[in-house]
Structure 1
């Protein structure tokens, strides 16, 4: 063990002793199997070991220039906290999602644009968690060039980070760790060799194009990143009309809806209805206006149970005219299965509402059906109304959607949750000229904030337009503000 620093060797052995490093056969969160599992969350129960770690870490980064510290949530947060206390460097904290109240910030703490931040991480494999944190920091004008990590698994993450201009400072590599543990008698040679063989056979693909951020890409460029026909149609409408505005026509009379559609039609890409509140509904009443002004029809029905009847039958016959609908994911794969197996050719996109602590799974049958698919699905990951959607549910919804890139249009969300996926669209409701909260806990954001800060691609405006004395004038105002925000975000 003489080739390694004695303090580092002692620390590595202690990690093994507290079960922070385990050997066997473990499944990772992405479904892969690994012979070694690193659970550095155990460190919070061992303050002396955490203090030893910070001492080694501080020594490692003595020649790195930085102003502030930020730990990748959540395992690295206590490490960053102790490092901040021991060194005197200020710490900022990145949230995995913004609060729905107060400042609604993703980065908490005292910082200013131009501050140089060093990221603290426990383990890197692909480097994706570090890049997510770096992007959120950079969105606030903070400079990120370095990350210090306890353990580099040597599976390509360091090279991925380097491609994005982030240098990795690792206290330990996996090769060093297993060598130290073998020399100390903690593991035998067969385990050592099994780990090294695993590393050589499980590498992140290198020399790939840098991950593009949808927030910086134009709508035109993003057409090439989607396989969904409704998404392509919607993007083309957005581009031709230069509008990312959706109007929510929550009105009860067809005459009022038709009048509104004529007024706002030139300024919108989507026209959202609640047909179940329309007192004199008929199937044909709005289609002519949609064709005249080139916008898509969006039925906000929130399909969930007996979907085959809700979607196809009754007086609304949604499947015969709507381009986009909403649906709950709580009932699982049966919801979209029913839509897909409709006798009518599927010609609508679906916003799946995920307002539960559990998430359903879209069935493979949706893809395998012989019916022609011209359907896009929007999964609701977050809501503009204060509610009980959990972070875990939001994350599961995003992961679910990414499994079906030929079916899912995107996500209804209040924060930029899928920056690295330009083929998906973010629909953000709750938009008014001035941000506020109403007496029903509905959260409103300004057009600029929704597009630039919140990551919205399409903004939904309801009463701000429908209650206006001159809806056409106000819709045009929203259209220009939203489009200018998009141009500012993409720097075009």
Structure 2
């Protein structure tokens, strides 16, 4: 049989085994429908499963280069398994929910970030099930841009998926399936007309846009930023072609200023710990701001505020350091609750300021839990004009493209110091973990030539950023 005959044969078989039903049904999207496609029954019909896998293989896999297949759980898993064996393409399995023990992974199997995964699904109405799988695959750094399905119900799913950069190929459209069943006298012309009218009149709801923020260039994300400091930082990175943040953990003003004279042209952000400086003065702040203007970098005071709102407001505005007068942005703990953000939001006095909320830490044995991280992000999203982003270690922490992921704990080689600080490589934090701005301290500050070392970090980080946004993340 030719492919067209095989498709007709499959359509008739699906009707005969009651995989295509006519009556009154409700889809997963909550839509009332006169026709229902229930592929779960095919597990009892090996010849039907084999016919479907053969058709998908010939229709889609021959011309598609991919590293993995992933069936949308659970109905598409048997088909994906058959295809994996038939095409000799490794398969991944997505869980409906993470295990509460062990690795707690959502995606099972062996893979690397940047590899391409083709999704297999039975039916698309709104596209929400495919997008749930796409989201989890992309969280792992996998490229998920194509799906092969058996039936497109033609109710908006294809468009919803396209909005999220997912293209689909389908064996059948609903119109095509209905026409075949009429031609083979399986349903009446009256029922066919009822279904076609239904398709014209009823569309699935639009679904959430889950575009991966890490694949967007900084210029585009600057347009999406609601905080003015985040917008400025994105633009600085794009203009200077650097996403390097230098942590100047030095204790004298002269050593800090001398270092910035050497490396200022290579950084987008300078992170200070103002309370470790032994000879702090107002003149130091004047000179620091002058360097920031000359070299076009912003200043982040890594104060990690963690007190009640009133106290934090005073720490920010008053005292010896008067941080609000010179720091473009500050780091803050969410531990005290929302009051800390309310206080800082009310303390800006109309001046552009930004907050990086601490959502994760790079130190070994830290007590931040996934639930804590999730609640931190929820709290932050209530203050879009205040938030620059998050200090965190993973791209899955948040999805908003207008916010910045600031990731510390980076050296050219993965190491761990004697105090529990764990260091990742620039490549890992950029391609796997989703960092936007990468913090380097001792790797530059303690180098024999800080200037040349800063240039090394700048170049390798930017190279991996370009690789990321181009989609060519071959590790």
Q: Which residue of 1 aligns with 2:3?
A: none
Q: CA deviation digits over 1:286-329, x for unaligned, max 9? A: 34233323221111111121322222233222212211101112
Larger Rg: 2
Q: Which residue of 2 aligns with 1:257?
A: 256
Counting matched residue pairs gives 406
- Say whether the 8 Å CA contact 1:107–1:136 is kept in structure 2: no
The whole-number CA distance in structure 2 between the counterparts of 1:438 and 1:51 is 54
Q: Does 1:217 align with 2:219?
A: no
Q: Which residue of 2 aligns with 1:384?
A: 362
The match for 1:305 among 304, 307, 320 is 307
- Say whether the 8 Å CA contact 1:158–1:167 is kept in structure 2: no
The whole-number CA distance in structure 2 between the counterparts of 1:216 and 1:276 is 37
- Say whether the 8 Å CA contact 1:123–1:153 is kept in structure 2: yes
Question: How far is 1:461 from its partner?
Answer: 0.3
Greater Cα offset, 332-341 or 63-72: 63-72
Q: Which residue of 2 aligns with 1:145?
A: 147
- Say whether the 8 Å CA contact 1:50–1:79 is kept in structure 2: no
Q: Which residue of 2 aligns with 1:63?
A: 55
Q: Which residue of 1 aligns with 2:265?
A: 266
Q: CA deviation digits over 1:31-59, x for unaligned, max 9? A: xxx799xxxxxxxxxxx999669998776
- Say whether the 8 Å CA contact 1:126–1:155 is kept in structure 2: no
The whole-number CA distance in structure 2 between the counterparts of 1:233 and 1:97 is 38
The match for 2:425 among 443, 446, 455 is 446
Q: Does 1:327 align with 2:363?
A: no
Q: Which residue of 1 aligns with 2:187?
A: none
Cα gap change, 1:64 to 1:468, in 2 (>3 Å): same
- Say whether the 8 Å CA contact 1:432–1:464 is kept in structure 2: yes
The match for 2:449 among 460, 463, 470 is 470
Q: Which residue of 2 aligns with 1:117?
A: 118
Cα gap change, 1:477 to 1:92, in 2 (>3 Å): same
Cα gap change, 1:385 to 1:105, in 2 (>3 Å): farther
Q: Does 1:417 align with 2:418?
A: no
Greater Cα offset, 404-413 or 323-332: 404-413
- Say whether the 8 Å CA contact 2:329–2:354 is kept in structure 1: yes
* SS of alignment partner, residue 438 of structure 2: strand
Matches within 5 A, 1:87-126: 89=85, 90-93=90-93, 109-110=109-110, 117-119=118-120, 125=126
Q: Which residue of 2 aligns with 1:347?
A: 352
Cα gap change, 1:119 to 1:94, in 2 (>3 Å): same
The whole-number CA distance in structure 2 between the counterparts of 1:121 and 1:390 is 36
The whole-number CA distance in structure 2 between the counterparts of 1:350 and 1:399 is 15
Structure 2 portions without partners, runs of 5+: 1-12, 33-39, 62-66, 179-197
Q: Which residue of 2 aligns with 1:377?
A: none
* SS of alignment partner, residue 486 of structure 1: helix
The whole-number CA distance in structure 2 between the counterparts of 1:399 and 1:63 is 45
Structure 1 portions without partners, runs of 5+: 29-33, 37-47, 177-195, 354-379
Greater Cα offset, 410-419 or 310-319: 410-419
Q: CA deviation digits over 1:112-137, x for unaligned, max 9? A: 98876334589974533243246468
Cα gap change, 1:304 to 1:417, in 2 (>3 Å): same
- Say whether the 8 Å CA contact 2:268–2:296 is kept in structure 1: yes
Question: How far is 1:439 from its partner?
Answer: 3.9
Please report the RMSD computed on the Cα atoms of aligned residues, expressed in angstroms: 5.0
The whole-number CA distance in structure 1 between the counterparts of 2:260 and 2:69 is 51
Q: CA deviation digits over 1:241-260, x for unaligned, max 9? A: 32211011223333332332
Q: Which residue of 2 aligns with 1:281?
A: 280
The whole-number CA distance in structure 2 between the counterparts of 1:384 and 1:121 is 41
